[in-house]
Structure 1
Amino acid sequence: MHTIKTGKGSTTKGFLDRFFNLSNNGTNVRTEFFAGVTMFIASVYILAVIPNLLVASGMPRESTVAAVILTTAFATMLIGFVANIPVVIAPGLGLSAFFSYTICGSMGLSWQTALGAVFISGAVFVILTVTRILNRIIDSIPQVLKTSIGVGIGLFIAFIGFKNAHIIVADKATFVGLGNMQDPAVLLTLFGLIITSVLLAKQVKGGLLIGMVITTVLAMALGITKVPQSLSDIFNLVPPIPVDTFGQFDIKSAFAYGIVSIIFSITIVDMFDNIGTLIGVTRKANLVGPDGKFKGLNKALLCTSIAAAGGAIIGTSTVTSYIESAAGVADGGRTGLTAVVTGLLYVVSLFFAPLFLLVPAQATAPVLIIVGVFMISEVIHIDFSDFTEALPAFLTILLMPLTFSIAQGISFGFVSYTLIKMATGRFKDIHPIMYALTIAFIIHFAM
């Protein structure tokens, strides 16, 4: 016999249960709420890390922080409402590094042009998802390359962390060398790395955030970063608006440059970032069917592609799903209500934007290094006993940090895979679409 509940609260719960299909997923409003809080705590560190990466491109810091917060809130709530999965979506670490250090760094393009490329990439992503061409591309790429891209991005992100902390510095004789180990800023970074690692090893919830807070407080004590002098240094009654980045994306310049290869690289990296994380998180949440596939993958990818284009308009690099979503799942989150709660908390964090401006590179560098540790763990799935698999994997992984470019690592991996398989007569291992992708990358090298 069912008990009939009345009242406004019960009606609200009933609506949320029906809309997010809570009961059928073995969860409830209370569980989803606290899972959303957990997912926010696990991922909020990105509000300090991502802007620090993006400002390296020349973007104005205050507007960039606001843009990152707004994009994260919008994208996370979008995937919660549309795809009904507990995932946080935000500008990607690897993609932000690619944006600043490759497109705006080594290639010398303006951040406005880079945003134009991001917008076009998002639009292309939408078309590929709607037409299901994306599914065919995904199926055509061998698992070894999918795995290698994630591992390579991990090394690249960790390298940026070491570089930003001045633990690794330029050296005329050896290209790179060890920084000044007597520098208080370097020692603080290493201390932050140890503290954060211990917290994660002890499985403390929000370990990345706690480690970053401790390191920031010590940085203030050492005079490395500013100490807040008033409430306005921490809290804004009127939330900031990304006035200096909104609508600044330059599509015309992106096309004029002949940026096809960059757009292709952004789309490929974003695709693998999303697919890997979405599959991992949905499997952990028991949302994957008996065939090993997640039925809502297309909806989820459509949400991220729409958010990517929207983020470019607001003023951020390409968005992707975050593995920190697993923290919310581990806390019981099973539906999009978890993501909606997380997104709303990001809206609230907009009022605390000045606080994120106080976080120094010494506090964010340990996070980048540790994310690299998380991502490199997938290397165990690569079969190094087969040289036709080992070489493409090795080139993909190693050349990302060595060339300081995710795109170049991917290019070498795809081309070497196709060529070595052809040279050894293993044509059955090559999907027809891989030939087209290889030709595209060869053209990329020629350009």
Structure 2
Amino acid sequence: MAKPQLAYNVAADAEKGLLERLFRLREKGTTAKTEILAGFTTFITMAYILFVNPQILSETGIPFNAALAATAIVSAFATLLMGLYANYPIAVAPGMGLNAFFTYTVVLTMGLSWQTALGAVFVSGMVFIILTVTKARQLIIEAVPPVLKYSIGVGIGLFIAFIGLKNAAIVVASPATYVTLGNMKDPGVILAIIGLVITAFLMARQVKGALLIGMLSTTIIGMFMGVTKVPTGLSDIVTLVPPSPAATFLKLDIMGAVKYGLVSIIFSITIVDLFDNIGTLIGVSRKAGLLDKDGRLPGIERALVADSVGATVGSLVGTSTVTSYVESAAGVAAGGKTGLTAVVVGLLFLVSLFFAPLALLVPSQATAPILIIVGVLMMAEVVHIKFDDFTEALPAFLTIVLMPLTFSIAQGLSFGFMSYTIIKAMTGKFKEIHPVMYVLTVLFILHFVFGIAE
């Protein structure tokens, strides 16, 4: 009678041995149980991307189901790669801001097809891989001044919040004033405001998974208000046949992107993804106690390679650029310290494919509050900008304001980089300008003078 128990113990020991070899749990001071719970925590806090990303990408003409499938598959692949290759508790998924740039700037404003935009994402991913492998990444990081690093995040936050307000119809177009307040009596607007209040309350109370809970709660309320469909059966929530990315798989147009001359677009995608990743990796790793005595993250190159490979694969499957998610901090707070946390998140993304019908029930009024609150969170970096120094304040202001006003992350970056170099040079502060900034400034000026990249 003891033999089955003995066999069970041997299997359990073998499993523990494998996990130990892969993730060095004891060395990191954690256990498999803690890592698994941390993985569930991270997934709950970022699962909203499964609903938001397809809604944003579908505006380019990408079929919603294909975008949903691509989002889940690529998030799973990139997060598993982060866990198994880099051994970090960091989840990876299509980035907020980068998906907005893909849709509203590259496709809807510049008029490129989504296939060409995916081609630009592919090229950007390859550039990111080269920058990481050749160590050129460090040169770029050192070249861009802190004020612009902070401003990029804040500007993207405002841009995302503006899109949320627009999607909720709280802000609408106006021939006289460009934008104005929408119809506050409209059921959709009322639902979005209710969703914003609910989600803001949950965030203020620091409820785990506040964004996801807020979105689902808003969707349910929307059903009673007649804004969205009411499920009539289990098939409206779960499916045994998950959606396929066949409509977008390998449909990218790389040569179209190269022929179009997308210098500023590729630069924008790469630079935003670079600093987004660096900031997230360092911030989350600091919270997990993974930094060395000099404040550096050992093996950060592996993490960046995992992210850039994920971005490249994402373009092949059919989604915008992926990036490390700051929501990973929730899993770290729950005790996650190794790649096992990321592996759990990756597997949950795959499982989520079977709940794809649920995404079709979520209206834009339920995802709009998420975009607005993500914008609020990204505004936090503004406190680090030295507004009492005008040579810092002007480029920061132009970067932040022009992203939402031009509806383009690329244009905000352009004016920020150019104004920084010019005003610092005009005031004799040449030592504060890295040589690479001169090169970038000249490229941006040529872009505007000769219409390169647009």
TM over 0.5: yes
For residues 220 and 327 of structure 2, the distance between their equivalents in structure 1, rounded to whole angstroms, comes to: 24
Quick check: 1:17–1:28 contact (8 Å CA) kept in 2?
no
Q: Which residue of 2 aligns with 1:314?
A: 317
Q: Which residue of 2 aligns with 1:184?
A: 187
Unaligned runs of 5+ in 1: none
SS at match of 2:179: strand
SS at match of 2:59: helix
SS at match of 1:170: strand
For residues 193 and 10 of structure 2, the distance between their equivalents in structure 1, rounded to whole angstroms, comes to: 55
Q: Which residue of 1 aligns with 2:379?
A: 376
For residues 427 and 247 of structure 2, the distance between their equivalents in structure 1, rounded to whole angstroms, comes to: 54
Q: Which moved more, 1:175-184 or 1:431-440?
A: 431-440
Q: Which residue of 2 aligns with 1:400?
A: 403
Match for residue 16 of structure 2 among 13, 17, 31: 13
Match for residue 426 of structure 1 among 426, 429, 433: 429
Q: State the aligned residue count.
A: 443
For residues 13 and 83 of structure 1, the distance between their equivalents in structure 2, rounded to whole angstroms, comes to: 20
Q: Which residue of 1 aligns with 2:220?
A: 217
Match for residue 24 of structure 1 among 27, 37, 58: 27
Are residue 325 (structure 1) and residue 328 (structure 2) matched? yes
C-alpha deviations, 1:354-401, integer Å up to 9, x for none? 111211111100000000111001100111111111111111011100
SS at match of 1:27: coil
Q: Which residue of 1 aligns with 2:3?
A: none
SS at match of 2:108: helix
SS at match of 1:289: coil
SS at match of 2:173: strand
SS at match of 1:93: coil
Q: Which residue of 2 aligns with 1:284?
A: 287
Q: Provide TM-score, normalisation by structure 2.
A: 0.96
In structure 2, what residue type is equivalent to 1:85? Y
For residues 233 and 212 of structure 2, the distance between their equivalents in structure 1, rounded to whole angstroms, comes to: 23
Q: Which moved more, 1:100-109 or 1:269-278?
A: 269-278
Match for residue 157 of structure 2 among 154, 159, 162: 154
Unaligned runs of 5+ in 2: 1-7
SS at match of 1:370: helix
C-alpha deviations, 1:168-193, integer Å up to 9, x for none? 00011110000000001101111111
Are residue 257 (structure 1) and residue 267 (structure 2) matched? no
For residues 173 and 186 of structure 2, the distance between their equivalents in structure 1, rounded to whole angstroms, comes to: 16
C-alpha deviations, 1:377-427, integer Å up to 9, x for none? 110011111111111111101110000000100111100000011000001
Q: Which residue of 2 aligns with 1:415?
A: 418
The Cα of 1:278 is off from its aligned counterpart by: 1.0
For residues 6 and 423 of structure 1, the distance between their equivalents in structure 2, rounded to whole angstroms, comes to: 73
* Equivalent residues in 2 for 1:289-304, closer than 5 Å: 289-304=292-307
SS at match of 1:238: coil
* Equivalent residues in 2 for 1:75-90, closer than 5 Å: 75-90=78-93
In structure 2, what residue type is equivalent to 1:76? T
Q: Which residue of 2 aligns with 1:38?
A: 41
For residues 220 and 41 of structure 2, the distance between their equivalents in structure 1, rounded to whole angstroms, comes to: 23
Are residue 119 (structure 1) and residue 122 (structure 2) matched? yes
Match for residue 236 of structure 1 among 239, 262, 266: 239
C-alpha deviations, 1:73-101, integer Å up to 9, x for none? 10111111111111111111101000000
In structure 2, what residue type is equivalent to 1:65? L
Q: What is the aligned-residue identity percentage?
A: 63
For residues 301 and 448 of structure 2, the distance between their equivalents in structure 1, rounded to whole angstroms, comes to: 31
SS at match of 2:226: coil
Are residue 166 (structure 1) and residue 155 (structure 2) matched? no
The Cα of 1:14 is off from its aligned counterpart by: 2.1
In structure 2, what residue type is equivalent to 1:63? A
For residues 72 and 280 of structure 2, the distance between their equivalents in structure 1, rounded to whole angstroms, comes to: 21
For residues 128 and 431 of structure 1, the distance between their equivalents in structure 2, rounded to whole angstroms, comes to: 18
For residues 443 and 93 of structure 2, the distance between their equivalents in structure 1, rounded to whole angstroms, comes to: 28
For residues 103 and 82 of structure 2, the distance between their equivalents in structure 1, rounded to whole angstroms, comes to: 26
For residues 41 and 152 of structure 1, the distance between their equivalents in structure 2, rounded to whole angstroms, comes to: 27
For residues 184 and 299 of structure 2, the distance between their equivalents in structure 1, rounded to whole angstroms, comes to: 49
For residues 337 and 157 of structure 2, the distance between their equivalents in structure 1, rounded to whole angstroms, comes to: 27
For residues 332 and 191 of structure 1, the distance between their equivalents in structure 2, rounded to whole angstroms, comes to: 34
SS at match of 1:108: coil
C-alpha deviations, 1:125-146, integer Å up to 9, x for none? 1111111111111111111100
**CA RMSD between the two structures:** 1.0
For residues 356 and 444 of structure 1, the distance between their equivalents in structure 2, rounded to whole angstroms, comes to: 40
